[in-house]
A and B are shown apart, each in its own frame.
Chain A
Amino acid sequence: MKRRDILKEIALGGLALKFGPELLGGMRPPLPAQDKTGPDLAAVTGESPAAITRAAVEALGGMKAFVGRGDKVILKPNIGWDRTPEMAACTNPEVVATLAALALEAGAKDVVVMDNTTNQAKRCYVRSGIAEAAKQAGAKVLFTDDYRLKKTALGGAWLKEWEVFADFLETDKIINVPIAKVHSLSRLSMGMKNWLGAIGGARNQLHQKLDEAMVDLAAFFKPTLTVLDAYRILVANGPQGGRLSDTKLVKTVVAGRDPVAVDAMGATFFEIQPRELLYLRIAQERGLGTHELEKLTVEKRTV
């Protein structure tokens, strides 16, 4: 091998390392709007969180449309806070467990549930009820592990690189399972805000440009499916609430391929117009999806 060839290879290797994750990201299934089979969004309302979750996924063509046989799947709920399900600070455990069961039924090899929590991880995992429910559904519930953090090129408009948990880089499919809550900076915390739990580092500095950070992260993680838990939403004292009176029962789950559309639909539960939310406007400009609900087919059901 000639010296020049070696140099060339080193240069290519360097490029691959630098942009590798993006290339990998590009290899994930393209963004969903194209291979549209069912409605853009499914919003199912009902008494049982499990039943509405199941129905919402069915309305989009069933879990098999998203998860293939042998896939490694990560479910990313919001387990950020040491709060019980009634406080609506973390994703409803039944919604998470149902998705885990559906993914396994669809042939997933592995379903991992994890989140980088704010309070002590174990407390959040236990009190949210998510660890127990997801385990019973057959998922692996793992604490995020700082040694798995990888400085990753995000290719964002603002966030060029950040520390991402390798679990999210190595998986086949990511399903985002946020809960709908109010937040003092982005106004609402739903699917796109949820990615702050898939990264490490000084997350508290992202607040200086939170809306941009949320869009950059959402563009990077590209979930296969987003299922927004709006069974009980947090309408005050966000994002962790603390009293029952901070919450409101909406008893709805919204599912969709387009992460922008799911959050847009979620905004309506707070009587907020999607276009009022800066991060949704940026996301649409960036081509991440659309917040114009009137242009989408939404299947609404009650079970």
Chain B
Amino acid sequence: MKKEPSKKYRLIRTLRILSQAAFLGLFVYLLLVSHYTGEDYIKKPVDAFFHFDPLIALATLVAGRAFFAELWLAAATLFLTVLLGRVVCGWACPLGSIHQAFSFIFKKAKLLNPKREETASTGWKYLVLAAVVSGAVFTLNLAGFLDPMSFLVRSFTTAVLPAKAVVFSAVVRLLYGIHLPSLAQPLSQFLENLAVNAVFVQGFAIGILFIGAVLLNLWKERFWCRYLCPAGALLGLAARWNVLKLRIDQDACIKCGLCTQHCQTQAEPYPNPKWRSSECVYCATCAAICPTAAIGFPGSAKPESIKTIDVRKRRFVLASLVGLAAVPLFRITPARKRAHLKLIRPPGALPENQFLATCVKCGECMKACPTNGLQPTLAEAGPEGIWTPMLVPKIGYCEYYCSLCTQVCPTDAIRKLTIEDKTKVKIGTAWINKSRCIPYVLGRPCIVCEEHCPTSPKAIKLVMVQTQLPDGTVATQKAPVIDLDLCIGCGICENKCPVVDDPAIFVTSIGEQRSETNRLLLPVVGDEGEK
């Protein structure tokens, strides 16, 4: 009996690829518009991908003990998965699509040669999930490290897009260099409008991790999706009914094993009874490549007979214990005892412990920040806080009339603020290093910090100061002093200070209004009267 591959499933495969491309495109688009486009409030649903991600929802609910309005979108994803299986992984997840695209390329280049039968356990990701959930019970939010949306947005924001920006500005320079201003100018204006932040202290490290995740596809197809992804694991647990069920026409099947060899996510389509509905992402690869069109996905209202996921109970318990053990381990850090001076959180950030429990380290805020000042932390917030946002005024300051970071935060770890409310939030306090400040130590005029101070009245006042110069003469200059009641810690003074290497005016976190402990002056009864 001679048969052709199935036209229908080849078409479905094409549709799936189009769908993946569309969702990836939408993802990149929403990321690119997460910045100041000319309006104070971002109206596009730039954090939508997070809201459809049930792992983010679970982590926020359990670790953050918090609800957010869009939680029902994650429920919709779960419902869809209960009904249809992990279609979201196969058809929509942008990180899955990137892994799949690279797997495809690696296969074509013969760099990846899938085994006819894969024996590695797909159970690891369930263990990752178990660790995340058990940690979350004790408010340790580990979801951000490996959640696909967090991983992708963080990698794109701090590494992929900045690298592209560097390339594009090199192109602009080249075009100007070869005297083509008519091409260079529009490109340069376009880039200025796109406002991609191109400077990240950990861009290199996060970029290497992203490349590493992509290169894992050299080893196993969609390595991330098969073995690591805790969100995929959560959906795998939810995949139960799977209305569309894989069926092999035993008469047509020639037992070539291609379907199992090329199954993207190791769901083992052949032999039929081994098919694991919890791993299948309905990519339709098996049905499309079957040389005799023996594979189909007919609908069946009967719930799938449950194939246990590839995890032994003991391992599951062990992983949960690992998650629990991680809790104290992550908290052996002075960060919880005393606030780090450099840990200037974005305006609207929750009090530190709540913030750590809610933030998923995605970096959306860093993408939206107009000055590039929001940067991923390394050690400042302890191990729990790795890659959470902090303001580094030397790189960029907090723009006075801007609340974009608060608007794009998918889990409300940074509370949404109106522009007006934001201008009143104190995120730190400025200090003057009088042994470096130009008027104080050199007796020359400057006032740059005062000029830039955005509050009215200004938090930086000028007083006349006498400085003895090396030649014995005395210079009198206007020099800055800080009014602590007015300073909001925005850091523009530090950013613009002409003493560039180590600014003579600098912001530290003390006095931040979200903290009850990192504070400076208590209001003293009678203060008012004394004045």
- B185 adjacent to A145 (CB under 8 Å): yes
- A205 adjacent to B173 (CB under 8 Å): no
Cβ contacts under 8 Å, A238 to chain B: 451
- A122 adjacent to B447 (CB under 8 Å): no
Contact among B188, B446, B457 for A208, CB-based, below 8 A: B446
**Residue B275 at the chain A interface, CB threshold 8 Å:** no
- A208 adjacent to B445 (CB under 8 Å): yes
**Residue B70 at the chain A interface, CB threshold 8 Å:** no
Find the A residue at minimum CB distance from B458: A237
Contact among B172, B185, B193, B401 for A127, CB-based, below 8 A: B401
Cross-chain pairs A/B with CB under 8 angstroms, 21 sampled:
A82-B399, A118-B496, A119-B400, A120-B370, A122-B38, A122-B195, A123-B36, A142-B189, A145-B188, A145-B189, A147-B188, A184-B447, A185-B445, A202-B498, A207-B445, A207-B446, A207-B498, A237-B458, A239-B451, A240-B452, A242-B456
- A204 adjacent to B192 (CB under 8 Å): no
Q: Given that A122-B192, A205-B498, A207-B447 are known contacts, is A237 also in contact with B401, CB under 8 Å in the complex?
A: no
- A204 adjacent to B497 (CB under 8 Å): yes
Q: Given that A184-B478, A204-B497 are known contacts, is A143 also in contact with B457, CB under 8 Å in the complex?
A: no
- B38 adjacent to A184 (CB under 8 Å): no
Cβ contacts under 8 Å, B195 to chain A: 120, 122
Find the A residue at minimum CB distance from B444: A208
**Residue A121 at the chain B interface, CB threshold 8 Å:** yes
Contact among B401, B462, B497 for A123, CB-based, below 8 A: B401
Q: Which 7 A-B pairs have the closest CB atoms?
A: A242-B456, A204-B498, A120-B370, A143-B192, A243-B456, A204-B448, A237-B456
Cβ contacts under 8 Å, A143 to chain B: 188-189, 192
**Residue A148 at the chain B interface, CB threshold 8 Å:** yes
* C-alpha gap A204/B451 in the complex (Å): 10
Contact with A along B425-446 (1 / 0, CB 8 A): 0000000000000100000111
- A246 adjacent to B456 (CB under 8 Å): yes
Within 8 A of B (CB), among A253-298: none
- A126 adjacent to B457 (CB under 8 Å): no
- A241 adjacent to B456 (CB under 8 Å): yes
Cβ contacts under 8 Å, A209 to chain B: 445
Cβ contacts under 8 Å, B498 to chain A: 202, 204-205, 207
Cβ contacts under 8 Å, A207 to chain B: 445-448, 498
In angstroms, how far is the closest chain B Cβ from the Cβ of A237? 5
Contact with B along A107-126 (1 / 0, CB 8 A): 00000000000111111001
* C-alpha gap A242/B192 in the complex (Å): 26
**Residue A210 at the chain B interface, CB threshold 8 Å:** yes
Chain A contact residues, majority secondary structure: loop
Within 8 A of B (CB), among A126-146: 126-127, 142-143, 145
- A208 adjacent to B456 (CB under 8 Å): no
* C-alpha gap A126/B402 in the complex (Å): 13
Number of interface residues of A (CB under 8 A): 33
**Residue B455 at the chain A interface, CB threshold 8 Å:** yes
Q: Given that A82-B401, A202-B498, A208-B438 are known contacts, is A147 also in contact with B189, CB under 8 Å in the complex?
A: no
Contact among A82, A122, A202, A237 for B193, CB-based, below 8 A: A122
* C-alpha gap A297/B242 in the complex (Å): 89
- B456 adjacent to A147 (CB under 8 Å): no
Find the A residue at minimum CB distance from B173: A147
Contact among A120, A148, A183, A242 for B36, CB-based, below 8 A: A120
Residues of B within 8 A of A (CB): 36, 38, 169, 172-173, 176, 184-185, 188-189, 192-193, 195, 370-371, 399-402, 438, 444-448, 450-452, 454-458, 462, 478, 496-498, 500
Cβ contacts under 8 Å, B371 to chain A: 120
In angstroms, how far is the closest chain B Cβ from the Cβ of A22? 23
* C-alpha gap A269/B206 in the complex (Å): 56
* C-alpha gap A127/B173 in the complex (Å): 29
Cβ contacts under 8 Å, A184 to chain B: 447, 450-451, 462, 478
- B454 adjacent to A240 (CB under 8 Å): yes
* C-alpha gap A226/B371 in the complex (Å): 32
Find the A residue at minimum CB distance from B462: A184
* C-alpha gap A241/B458 in the complex (Å): 9
Q: Given that A204-B497, A208-B438 are known contacts, is A147 also in contact with B184, CB under 8 Å in the complex?
A: yes
In angstroms, how far is the closest chain B Cβ from the Cβ of A56? 29
In angstroms, how far is the closest chain B Cβ from the Cβ of A169? 13
Cβ contacts under 8 Å, A236 to chain B: 457
In angstroms, how far is the closest chain A Cβ from the Cβ of B325? 45
Find the B residue at minimum CB distance from A240: B454
* C-alpha gap A231/B440 in the complex (Å): 37
- B445 adjacent to A148 (CB under 8 Å): no
In angstroms, how far is the closest chain A Cβ from the Cβ of B163? 19
Residue with the greatest number of chain A CB neighbours at <10 A, chosen from B400, B451, B462, B498: B451
* C-alpha gap A236/B496 in the complex (Å): 21
- B399 adjacent to A123 (CB under 8 Å): yes
Q: Given that A208-B444, A208-B445 are known contacts, is A120 also in contact with B399, CB under 8 Å in the complex?
A: yes
* C-alpha gap A118/B397 in the complex (Å): 12
Cβ contacts under 8 Å, B462 to chain A: 184
Cβ contacts under 8 Å, B447 to chain A: 184-185, 207
Cβ contacts under 8 Å, A123 to chain B: 36, 370, 399, 401-402
Find the B residue at minimum CB distance from A170: B181
In angstroms, how far is the closest chain B Cβ from the Cβ of A64? 29
10 extra interface residue pairs, beta carbon distance < 8 Å, beyond A122-B36, A184-B450? A119-B399, A121-B192, A122-B195, A123-B36, A126-B38, A145-B189, A147-B173, A236-B457, A237-B457, A242-B454
In angstroms, how far is the closest chain B Cβ from the Cβ of A195? 16
Contact with B along A145-170 (1 / 0, CB 8 A): 10110000000000000000000000
- B455 adjacent to A242 (CB under 8 Å): yes
Cβ contacts under 8 Å, B456 to chain A: 237, 241-243, 246
Contact among B172, B438, B445, B500 for A210, CB-based, below 8 A: B445
In angstroms, how far is the closest chain B Cβ from the Cβ of A235? 12
Cβ contacts under 8 Å, B193 to chain A: 122
Cβ contacts under 8 Å, A118 to chain B: 452, 496
In angstroms, how far is the closest chain B Cβ from the Cβ of A113? 13
* C-alpha gap A142/B184 in the complex (Å): 13
- B400 adjacent to A82 (CB under 8 Å): yes
In angstroms, how far is the closest chain B Cβ from the Cβ of A236? 8
In angstroms, how far is the closest chain B Cβ from the Cβ of A72? 13
Residue with the greatest number of chain A CB neighbours at <10 A, chosen from B169, B172, B445, B478: B445
In angstroms, how far is the closest chain A Cβ from the Cβ of B316? 50
Cβ contacts under 8 Å, B448 to chain A: 204, 207
Find the A residue at minimum CB distance from B400: A82
* C-alpha gap A148/B184 in the complex (Å): 10
